[in-house]
Amino acid sequence: MRCWTRTLAVGALSIAATTAKAQAGNEWPVYGGDLAATKFSTLTDINRGNVAKLAPAWEWATGETAKTEPRARPGNFQATPLMIGDTLFLSTSYNRVIALDANTGKELWAYDPQAYLAGQPPNGTGFVHRGVATWTDGKQRRIFINSRWNLIAIDASTGKPIREFGDTGRVDLTRELKRNGKAVNKLHYTQTSPPVVWRNLVIVGNGVADNAVRIAKIISL
């Protein structure tokens, strides 16, 4: 199990593997499969009659361990990759964004926001991230990751930040947040799930640590 926590493996039918290009009409463009998060695929190549014949087509490992960045430890690998054409886009436990060739597993590019430099996130389970989101206007495609307190836009073709987005590619999600009139502590802010893109809107949430204690005041009118 320890091997699988930071390894992405793709299975293929050993007798007749269908390439990613042939499946271009059956992409996985959203974390939950579609905006309704149905997680449903129309693919029919794998069924009860041949599922036992599945064999690994390739493997790719993040190479992330607690030794690579001692200030923070990675948690389980929890990402669900997006598939656009023949490219997979995913996030790693350390919040790196990776593009892989879906046919071969070859790494096309990697972007590291260095979220771990701020130390361990307040979730008690180590660094985890479940995926990314994508947006396109038909001419360019952007990959979005909400890493800790930042929302980052990345060029899907190059892996470089979109410098026209926010502050040279980043938006500080805590900038307008206040608590008792004071700015929130960024170190208490974390993200694990990908944003949701609806038309030209990017919608994000916030991960709340289970072990954090907060005091709420209820005022009755």
**What residues of the chain score a pLDDT lower than 70?**
1-25, 208-221
Judge whether 1 lies within some domain: no
Q: Whole-prediction pTM value?
A: 0.84
* Cβ count within 10 A of residue 212: 10
Judge whether 64 lies within some domain: yes
Query: What is the DSSP-derived secondary structure letter of residue 18?
Result: P
Amino acid 13: pLDDT: 42
Judge whether 213 lies within some domain: no
Judge whether 13 lies within some domain: no
Domain count, the chain: 1
- Please give the structure tokens belonging to residue 111: 């972007």
Judge whether 27 lies within some domain: yes
Torsion of CA 112, 177, 205, 220, to 10 degrees: 160
Structural domain span for residue 196: 18-203
Q: CATH number for the domain including 180? A: 2.40.10.480
Amino acid 207: pLDDT: 76
- The contacts of residue 7 (CB under 8 Å, 6+ apart) are 59, 60, 61, 62, 77
Judge whether 217 lies within some domain: no
Judge whether 9 lies within some domain: no
- Please give the structure tokens belonging to residue 108: 């096309």
* Cβ count within 10 A of residue 103: 18
Pairing mode of beta strands 182-183, 170-172: unpaired
Judge whether 79 lies within some domain: yes
